[in-house]
Each structure stands twice: as structure tokens, then as C-alpha cells.
Structure 1
Amino acid sequence: MPVNRNATLSRMMRRALMTGLLLCPLMAAGWSLVVEQGDIGMALPDIHTAGWEVTGSKADVQPSITASGDSAVFDFNPASVVVTERLAYTGSEQPLLLQDLRTNLSDVTLTIDYGASGTWAERIAVKGKVKVEANRITHPRLVPQAWSFRGNVAGHLANLRIQGTLVSNAGVEADLDVQLSPDGAVSISVGSVIEGPDDVRALAATFTGWPELLSVDSGSARVSAELHLGPKGGLAVDGAATLDEVNGVFNRTAFTGLTGEVLATLEGDRMTARSTGLTAEQVNPGIPVSAVHFTGSYTAPISKKLAGKLAVQQANAQFLGGSLRIPPGTYDLAGGAGRIPVELQDISLARLMEVYPAEGLGGSGLLSGLIPISFSSDGVQVEQGRVSAESPGGRLQLPADKLQGMLGGNQAMDVVVKALQNFHYSVLSSTIDYDDTGKLTLDLRLEGNNPEVRGGQPVVLNVNLEEDIPALLTSLQLSGSVNEAVTERVRKLLQGSGQEQKPGKEAVP
């Protein structure tokens, strides 16, 4: 194979020049060297330090060099690049890998200070604008894809600061501020503004943990995160999201006017989320809950997110003409034994009958009670909740056809059916149980009379009712009472399962 002697000689001269710049300060003083424009191509040594690995780096640069016995200054001209095959951080359980990096050093100045003391990382300074392109970045929290960065670098290698704009191939754009410390610690600040559905879709295509069933129609969010990686690999994260009038759908629940700030902290094996005032105009899974307000925090182990502690300062909402409230306090949910008490106050029975998808229902009166809710990996459960009507009671009207089917056709049950066509109650109370299959059980006690039955004689009724809540909510969602997006999502889910239903009123089960 023929040898290009000129190319070989050129490489030898470049290496000799670089070696001379490093050795001359040790050999002589009072000298200087100026190279208006050089052309240097060389392989760079691999780096393995504090969990970081940089391998397969090659430089192809065109610097102007000014050197003396004290220092050397490299001003890089356009087309000066450093190509790196692999940059990885392996010092944590969630490794970060950047592949095929191309760093453009145009308008960058590198200064080597021979006269200073300390390591070379403390004597080499960098300043200027850089452009970095990574063909692929891999991390458990990220969808593998290309990223790019444009910004400024300044400082010594041991204490370097990098500031600029980071962009994912999917379209997420964020401000980035990185500070390297001499002890090997790294501090990273990231901030971004998200507006509208396009930005949300970009997030979903960038982060693996993004909820698949979350869509946003309007509003904005300013998000930020502060990450600190200690010299021994310990990771601490502080995040914040400021929401402004966000409207959208999560799974089969629509929400509007979501506003407020949510703060999150990750340290060691524990996570904390807190809010100083999160509000929503409405949250609607089928029956709307409005004027939602929450102030409090939640802390849990990362490995057991449902086994944490909920600290409530304020949690209330309006519901069916009345209110829902969680009393202030701290609720321990560890082991699935914790209960969050939800207080119901002055719920309108008339409003409840209006939203229920059945014909022939009617009523009046106000209901209050307490429903203890628990959470587990199986879902939501309620045990021995209680609700009762406020004095002086009210009226209850239930459809005769379904009552006949439920209670049977004997003469005694006929009296009950007739009574419940226009039942004036003084007492209405019930226990409430809800299991993880979605079955709601009501043990209902009624005391009162129907003026048109047996001369209005007093009647005491004990009735056991069961309701399939998921099926009920599905019926409400298909009726369009939530919004079109939820209706369409539910319809597609039912089509996929072969259980499509047509929206409309259903009789009481």
C-alpha cells in the first residue's frame, strides 16, 4: 500500500508542535510563538472519572495559536469539530448514554495556563459558543432519539459552566444550565414553557413516563428542574410546574381551568409532591366536580408510590349543589390500611337524580355524610361510608317497572313499589361500600309515607341496592355529558372490546 509521506510528515509536525507547547515552559522562559492558522487532526485520550466515560474522541480543528512561557491560547476557526463516539454516566442505577456526538468549536477560545498550580483540568479554560449534536441519547426516562444543544461555555474544565438551549428531535425545547464542580459534582438546571397540544405531544414523544392517556387542549405550563449529582453519585432533584388555565383530558376524565403551582422533590429513595394552592374550575369523570382547591403534600418511597403520607391543609370542592371536603390532617396510606375521609355536605338529591342516566327518577332533600376512601394497586375502595338526609327530609320517586323487577311481583312488594312512586321521607340513611371491582353497595333505610297509599300510613323500608359504577360512568361519558374527546375515547375503547353501547337513558338497575 503506497505511503503518503507528506501526510505522515504533516502529522508528525503537528504532534511535535503540541508536544513543544507543553514542554517548552519547562525548558525555557521568555519565548513566544504565534501560529496564524494551523490544521490539527488527532485522537484524544479516553476519559474515565467519577462515573463518567468519554471514549472514541477525535479532533479536527483549525486553531490560531498564541503561546509563551506562561500560557498558550487556541482560537478555533469555523469547521473546528470534535467527534466523540460515546459519552456515558454509569455512576447511578439509571445510566445516561450519548452516542455519536459532534461538537462544533467555532468561536471558542481554549487557554492553557502553564504558570498556574493544580491539575490540568484546573489550568485549562474554555470560553465561547458551541454547538453539540448527539445522534442518540439513551436514558430510562427518555425516548431514545437525537438531541442538539446551542449555547455558551465558560470556565476551567474543573469548574465549567454551560448555558444554552437544548432541543429534542421530537420538538421539546428547554433552557439548560450546567455547572461542573472541581470535586466531580454536577448541577443541572432545566426550564421550559409548554403551550397547547403540540408541545404536549412533543413531551409525550420525548419522555417515557409521560401518561399515554393525557391530552391537553389549551393553557400553558412553566416547568423547571434542578438536579444535583454528588461526587459519589448521589442524586437530588427539585422540580416545579406552574400551570395556567390548563384544559384537557386524562384517561376518561375531563378537566378545565387547572391553575397553580406543584413542587416536587426526589432525594434518596423518597419523593415529595406539594402544592400551595392548586385549583380547577371543573373535574368531570361523568358527574362534574367544580371549584376544586387543594393545598398540601404527599411523600412516599419511590418503590411504593401508594404507600405514602398525605398531608392536607385544604381540600374542598363543590358537588351537586353541595360540597366535598377532606379535613386537614396527615393520612398514612402505608400497607393499604390508611383511609382518607371525604365529607359530603348538603348534596342535592334532586341534582343527583338529574344526572343519573335513567328515566322516571325524582327527589328532593339534602344529603350529608362521610366516605372513607383507600387506595391500593387494585384501585379505590370504600368501607362503611355513611350518608343521611338532613332534617326535615324530602321526597323520593323511583320508577315502578325497575322496582318490580328488583323486588319481585308478590303483593307485599307491590305496596313497596307503590309507596316509592311518591315517597315523603323523614329519614333516609345508608351505608356505602365500594370494592375494587367497581361495585357500589347501598344499604338504604327509609322512613316516611306516600299520601296516596293506605291513607298515608307510616312505612319503614330497608332496601339493598347495587350499582356498577364503571358502567354508570361509561353511560354518562357516552352521553356526551363530559366532552366530545372523552365520548370518542370511550367509544373506541368499547369498539376494541366488542362492547359498544349507544348513549342514552338507562333504567335503574
Structure 2
Amino acid sequence: MRKAAISAGAVLLLVLLAVLLAGLWVQRALTAAGFEQLHWQQLRWSEGAVQVKQLNGVNVSEQGRLDFRLDGVRLRPVWDGGPRIDQLVVDELQLVWEPRDNLPPSEPTDDWSLPELDHFAGPLSWLPRELEVRHMQLQLPCEGEFCVLQGGFQLTTDQQPLALVAQLYLQADEQSLSGSLQLHEESGGYRLLAGLDLPQSLHLLGLGQLSGKVRVDLENRGSQWLLREGQADARLLQPQLDALAVLPPELRPSALMVWITPQASSLNTWRESISFAMQLQIEGAVAGQVDAQLALNHLPHWQVQLHAGRLQLNADKLELEGMQLQTVQLDWPFQAEADQNQLNLLLNEGALLTTKSLSLTDACLQLSDLRADLSKATLNLPFSAPDQLKLEAPLQLGASRLTHAALKPQGWNLSGRLQHSSSGLMLNGSLAALSGLNTDLQLNWPTGEAWRLDMTLREIFLRAADPLAATFADWPALLSFSSGRISSTLQASGRSGLDRIKGQLELTGGQGIYDRASFSGLSLPLTVSLQGKMLQLSTDALNLSALDPGLPLGPLRASGTYTAQLSKPSSGALELRSASLGVLDGRVLLEPARVDMGQARQTLVAVVEGVELARLFEVYPAEGLSGQGTLDGRFPISLANGKLQIDDGRLQAREPGVLRYQAQQLRDLAATNPGMEQLALALDNFHYQVLASDLSYDEQGVLVLGLRLEGSNPAFQQGRPVHLNIRLEEDIPALLTSLQLSGQVSEIIRKRVEQYYLQRRSP
């Protein structure tokens, strides 16, 4: 009896020792697998089972930290056919998961492959015939707190042949999560069916509100896995993905839905490839979808090939910083390749971006029916060096209507090639308006430096059409060209915005009409400069061969510089260096001066040199009036609200000359008036020693001359000296109108003159 008691005690001691050793082995195995801070309470053998009142610890990995706690653990072994676990029951399991932020990327493992299930035959044989977690609690980080899911887990296994069925169910309020797994051994292999369902959204920190389901049916034969069927659907509300943080808030989606359907019977050895279709649907202010066929390859390195891709986006209205868009649509067919080193993307033919309206508030610019074609654009992105991104895009950009205060509304088109790399951004192309204005562009923006835009205006030949008049809103309506050539080059530069513009514009051979005057032989080299908000226009050689407002004038020569604020271009200052106009074989010069165009009145001083009376009387329509002499003078000119005025002007003949007034009207008056008879005889051949005149010109266009004549007629009273004071008034606009209507002028000038004449006659 005593011997039996000793034997029973020895067996009990061996069992307890085995349990202790098994516990130590389990602890070391778990520690090697990353489990830390392992503690248990009340480990004992009772009722044919190993029982642990409580087991807790922590598992730490690169992905984060998992705290676990098991209460009421009962492990019942069986000894028939060798030791194995018959039943494992856990009354309560608590899991707390905390992901680690800013994890370093793990190195890819090129030789990774799906496992051969034959290698797991041994470990699978140790699975309990029955495993049950009666109460399971899972805590996941949500926004500002933890989400708690509660449920249970069950597992049943058979060993000959191997058959495994597992069920997981978790729930929190209206949210639930269920998963299933079936594994059974077939002739020469295994069959694996697995599924996961999350019908209601679960808010996960750093991800969003996730719902969806996954189904997979796999057949394993050694190292080969045959995908019999598969499907993955997921919906993410209010996504919080880091990749979306770079987008402006207005462009971030409110929901993402993805569907992944592997190609049936796709052989996946991870040494060949697996193909599947993917569809991503986007909801939000910008909505749309991405469709693509993908192939995953493993050798020699993992690769992704994407075919028949199509990105489609649309938005009714977008308001970005300084920009408003209406009815935006994007349709990009594309294909791509990616591996562990880089991404290569190609946009196929028909890659379009359109918008009904685009407004730039700061630039006061609006584009209608904008269409951008980026077909054949390519993108290369090295993952290890994103700053080495390379982009090349043939660019076709057009708008049916461009509206800006400085331009006439019409269509514009930009075509060229855009390139971006680590060295910077480059654009070569041309900008054209429907008016016929064409400009070649070259943009160079080195990384970290100021950008520069070179613009070369294609030569404009001013014949029947005038693209400048058809392009610029402030182009003078009464200015038209019949011939001429314009060329121009400009350079613009800046950093964050436009800092400076400089360049040259040249007009040669200009001929045409301005208001009621024709001109020819116009040459204008112009230097343009914009520094900050200051605009400067300068010329050293303005030349005009002939100007005819009814009186032949010319040549005209001038030089000067005009400076103004860009916001007030018509209120600047003119530095007049020189100006002269040929008049009646003489000339009129303006003295150098600074003229402030922002003031209501501007004043200049005009100097008359060498005007010939003989030429004056040739063009002045006064019957019987002729003479010889040369006039000089000086008079101030004022421009008051755009109207010419002259006060206290002076004219003086250089030397003695001759005046003859032999009009029939004067003879008729002399026949009835003795006084007029004496005047007619004196003026018939008047040799003057003094010819001087005061001169004034008012805003209504009336010229007043106060003539003073001193001289004699050798045939009148033996050359007796005669002094005459004569006041003459002439309506100059009416005189010029008369001269134009009586001369050979173009039909355009005739119509303008007649219109002007009718306006002056109207009360």
C-alpha cells in the first residue's frame, strides 16, 4: 500500500514537472517570438487538465504593440496515439492593439513566397481538436479613444485527414466583424477557404471608417497555389490616409470603395504572376473611379504591371486658393509598371482634362470651355529618391473664350512640351489667339532658383487683318494699319510670382489711319520694362515720314520714356527728350520736359522754325492770297483733359517779305467803299518789313491771330508806309474738315469726317 502511494506520488510529481517544463518552454518560445513581460497566476493540474487562472504579456513588433490577457485557461491533453491537445478553453481573452507611428520601412524580401502547407503538417497536428474562446475583447485605437469589440472564437480540427474549421465573431454596438477559415486535406494537397466580413463601418485610427468583405478559395499542391476564386470589397469613409494629406482639403475624398477580383485559375507561385481586376470608386467634392487590370510578378524582383487603366474624375464646383472651377471632368487612360525601385506611368491617347469655367481671382482672368490634352505624358518616380521625379508631357491646352480686362474675349491655345526633373521645370511651346497673334514661349525654372520666361512674338504683317487690334481691349478704335511689320521679344522672371519683365518691340513700315488722319513710314523701336509694379516704355527713335490730317505734315521724330504704375497705366509720367514735326517746309519742336499724365493739365513749350508762307498759302483755302516769307515762333501748349490749348503764343517773320491779296471779293467791296479801295490797293503787292502775330487756340478749336503788319506797296502812293492790325479767327477742326472733303482721302477718312461734321452741327 505504501509502495502504491509512493508510485502515485512519483507519477504526480512527474506530471507537475512536465507541466512546469512545458510552461518554461512555452515562455521561452513566446519570448523568442517577441512576447515580453509574460506573467501567469495559479498554474495547476486539475480534473485532467492544465489550468491557468491568468496569463498576460506584451508582444512588440515593427507594426506596433499588442497587450494580451487570458483568464480561465484550461488545456486538456489526450494520450491515445501519442500526446496531443484535445481541448483548449479560454474563458476570457483581452487584446489591446496600438500601432506604432512613423515606422521605418522594412526591407523587401525577394525570396518570400506563400508557405508549403506540408511543412506545417507537424504544427497543425498539435492544434486542439476543439478550441474555444468564450468571451473575447479586442481594443483598437479610434479617434481620441479605443473602440471595443466583443465576441468569441471557435476552432475544431480533425487529423486524419486534416480538416480545420475556425469561426471568429466580434461586435460593438451596431458594428460587427466575422471571419471564417476552412482547411482540409485533399488527394495530394490542401484546400483553403477563408472569409472576413465587416458589414458596418469600424472607425480605425489613421485609416478611417472601414467596412467590407474578403473571400478567397485556394488550392495548395506543394509550393504551388492555385487560386480557384477570390473577391475583396472594402469601403473607407472619412479616410485618414497619409497619402491623402498632401492634397488640399477641398480635394480630399469623403469615401473610398475598392473592389479586387483575381482572375480565376490564376497560378500564384510568387515566382510567376497573379492577375486581377481592380476598381476604386471615389466620393466627395471630386468624385470618380479608377479601373485597371493588374499583374503581380515576383521574379527576379516583385513587379506590378497595370494595363487598361482608366482614371475618371468629375466635380460640379471646386474652390481652391485663388481659383474657382465649374464642371470639371478628367478622363485619363493609362498604363503603369512598378517594382521595388520605381514607378513608370504613361498616359494613353485621349488623356483629357476639361472644365466649363476656370476663374483666377487675383489675375481677374476667366477661361471658358478649357480643354487640356496630356496624351503620351510619362512619369518616372524613384521610390528611394522622390525628388528625382521625371515628368515629360506633350501639352495641348485650349479655351474657347478667355476673358480679361486687357484683352478682347476670344479663344486661345497653348501647345508645347512640359518637362520636370530634379534640375527644374522647362516648357517649350507656343501661345496663339484666334485673332492670329502667335508667341513662342520658353520657360526655364531651375530648382531653388528664379524662373525665366522668354517670349518671342512671331512677325506680324499688318495688311488686311490686324491681330493687335483684334486682341487688345485698349487698342485705339480709330487706329488701323494697312501695312507694316511688328516683331517683339520679352523676358519675364520671378520667384514666387512675377518680379520683372523686359524686352523689345519694333514696328517698321507702318502705314494706316488714325482718326481722320492718314500716316505712312512709321518706325517705332520700343523698350519695355516692368520692375515690381512699375511699367516703363522707352524709345530713342520714333520716326514718321508723313502725317496728313488735311494738311501735309512730316517727318515726325521723337524720343522719350514713359513710366507708370501697373495699376494706373494712363496716369504716369513722360520724360520727353526730343520731339519735332515737319510743318510747311519748316518744323515745330517741343522743348524737353517732364509731363505728369496724372494731372488734369499738362504744359509743353513749342518752338516754330522756318515755316514758309508760300507753302502755307498753297494749302490754305483763301482765294487770291499768296506771299513769301519765313516764320519763327514760340508758344506754350496745354493739354487740359485731353484738349489742346494755346495762350500767349508769338509768331514773327525772319526778314522782309511779300503778301498779295488779290481776291475778287475784295475788289467788289472796293468798288463801293473808298476805304476798302485803299486797303485793296495796299495789299495788292504789300512788301512788309514787320510781320508779327499773337496766337491763341481754345478748347473748341478756334485759332485767333492778332496780326501786325508794317510795310508798303511800291505802286501805292509812291510807297507810303502802311501799318495794319488785323484780327483773324479760324475754326481749325472745320478748316481741316473742309480740306479733307475737298482733297483725295480714303473712304474711311471721308466717312469719319462726315460723321464728325454732322456731330458738330447737331445742337
Deviations 1:20-66 (A, max 9, x none): 9xxx9xxxxx64322344233234895734x3455643321222212
1:100 is aligned to 369
**CA 1:341–1:257: 2 relative to 1, 3 Å:** same
Specify the SS of the correspondent of 1:203.
coil
Q: Hey, what's the Cα distance between the residues in 1 that align with 2:353 and 2:709?
A: 81
Deviation at residue 188 of structure 1 after TM alignment = 4.9
1:174 is aligned to 439
Verify: 1:479 aligned to 2:703, yes or no.
no
Verify: 1:194 aligned to 2:460, yes or no.
yes
Paired residues for 1:127-146 under 5 Å: 127-146=392-411
Specify the SS of the correspondent of 1:13.
strand
Deviations 1:394-438 (A, max 9, x none): 01123546669999x864454334322321111111121111111
2:697 is aligned to 434
Give the share of equivalent positions with the same residue, in percent.
31
Deviation at residue 366 of structure 1 after TM alignment = 0.5
TM-score of the aligned structures, taking structure 2 as reference length: 0.56
Deviations 1:257-310 (A, max 9, x none): 111311234456654321021212112212222232222222345677676433
Q: Hey, what's the Cα distance between the residues in 1 that align with 2:464 and 2:326?
A: 37
Q: Hey, what's the Cα distance between the residues in 2 that align with 1:114 and 1:439?
A: 81
The answer on whether the counterparts of 2:462 and 2:483 sit within 8 Å (CA) in structure 1 is: yes
Verify: 1:211 aligned to 2:476, yes or no.
yes
The answer on whether the counterparts of 2:650 and 2:695 sit within 8 Å (CA) in structure 1 is: yes
**CA 1:467–1:268: 2 relative to 1, 3 Å:** farther
Specify the SS of the correspondent of 1:335.
coil
Verify: 1:297 aligned to 2:561, yes or no.
yes
**CA 1:475–1:266: 2 relative to 1, 3 Å:** farther
Deviation at residue 14 of structure 1 after TM alignment = 4.1
**CA 1:282–1:102: 2 relative to 1, 3 Å:** same
| Equivalent position to 2:379, from 110, 125, 128 | 110
**CA 1:376–1:212: 2 relative to 1, 3 Å:** same
Structure 2: which amino acid aligns with 1:48? L
Structure 2: which amino acid aligns with 1:262? L
Structure 2: which amino acid aligns with 1:66? E
More strand by share: 2
Verify: 1:246 aligned to 2:507, yes or no.
no
**CA 1:496–1:312: 2 relative to 1, 3 Å:** closer
| Equivalent position to 1:151, from 384, 397, 416 | 416
**CA 1:399–1:228: 2 relative to 1, 3 Å:** farther
User: Higher relative contact order at CA 8 Å, sep ≥6: structure 1 or structure 2?
Assistant: 1
1:67 is aligned to 338
Deviation at residue 376 of structure 1 after TM alignment = 3.0
Q: Hey, what's the Cα distance between the residues in 2 that align with 1:405 and 1:383?
A: 36
TM-score of the aligned structures, taking structure 1 as reference length: 0.81
More helix by share: 1
Deviation at residue 348 of structure 1 after TM alignment = 0.6
Deviation at residue 446 of structure 1 after TM alignment = 0.8
Structure 2: which amino acid aligns with 1:427? V
Would you say how many aligned residue pairs link Structure 1 and Structure 2?
Answer: 476
Moved more, 164-173 or 10-19: 10-19
| Equivalent position to 1:372, from 636, 654, 660 | 636
Structure 2: which amino acid aligns with 1:144? P
The answer on whether the counterparts of 1:333 and 1:339 sit within 8 Å (CA) in structure 2 is: no
| Equivalent position to 1:48, from 302, 306, 320 | 320
Deviation at residue 468 of structure 1 after TM alignment = 0.7
Q: Hey, what's the Cα distance between the residues in 2 that align with 1:305 and 1:433?
A: 32
1:489 is aligned to 751
The answer on whether the counterparts of 1:479 and 1:487 sit within 8 Å (CA) in structure 2 is: no
Q: Hey, what's the Cα distance between the residues in 2 that align with 1:178 and 1:404?
A: 78
**CA 1:15–1:55: 2 relative to 1, 3 Å:** farther
Q: For structure 1, which runs of at least 5 residues remain unmatched after alignment? A: 1-5, 25-29, 501-509
Larger Rg: 2
Moved more, 467-476 or 375-384: 375-384
2:732 is aligned to 469
Deviation at residue 76 of structure 1 after TM alignment = 1.7
**CA 1:162–1:133: 2 relative to 1, 3 Å:** same
The answer on whether the counterparts of 1:126 and 1:157 sit within 8 Å (CA) in structure 2 is: no
Specify the SS of the correspondent of 2:468.
helix
Moved more, 144-153 or 7-16: 7-16
Paired residues for 1:264-413 under 5 Å: 264-266=528-530, 270-300=534-564, 308-332=572-596, 335-391=599-655, 393-398=656-661, 400=663, 411-413=674-676
**CA 1:110–1:332: 2 relative to 1, 3 Å:** same
2:685 is aligned to 422
Q: Hey, what's the Cα distance between the residues in 1 that align with 2:643 and 2:669?
A: 29
Deviation at residue 195 of structure 1 after TM alignment = 0.4
1:504 is aligned to none
Q: Hey, what's the Cα distance between the residues in 2 that align with 1:156 and 1:223?
A: 30
Deviation at residue 73 of structure 1 after TM alignment = 2.0
Deviation at residue 360 of structure 1 after TM alignment = 1.2
Structure 1: which amino acid aligns with 2:310? D
**CA 1:376–1:32: 2 relative to 1, 3 Å:** farther
**CA 1:440–1:399: 2 relative to 1, 3 Å:** farther
The answer on whether the counterparts of 2:441 and 2:454 sit within 8 Å (CA) in structure 1 is: yes
The answer on whether the counterparts of 2:348 and 2:376 sit within 8 Å (CA) in structure 1 is: yes
Q: For structure 2, which runs of at least 5 residues remain unmatched after alignment? A: 1-232, 234-256, 262-276, 282-288
Q: Hey, what's the Cα distance between the residues in 2 that align with 1:208 and 1:332?
A: 24
The answer on whether the counterparts of 2:328 and 2:354 sit within 8 Å (CA) in structure 1 is: yes
Deviation at residue 244 of structure 1 after TM alignment = 1.4
| Equivalent position to 1:39, from 297, 310, 320 | 310
| Equivalent position to 1:255, from 519, 523, 548 | 519
**CA 1:428–1:334: 2 relative to 1, 3 Å:** farther
Specify the SS of the correspondent of 1:210.
coil
Verify: 1:444 aligned to 2:703, yes or no.
no
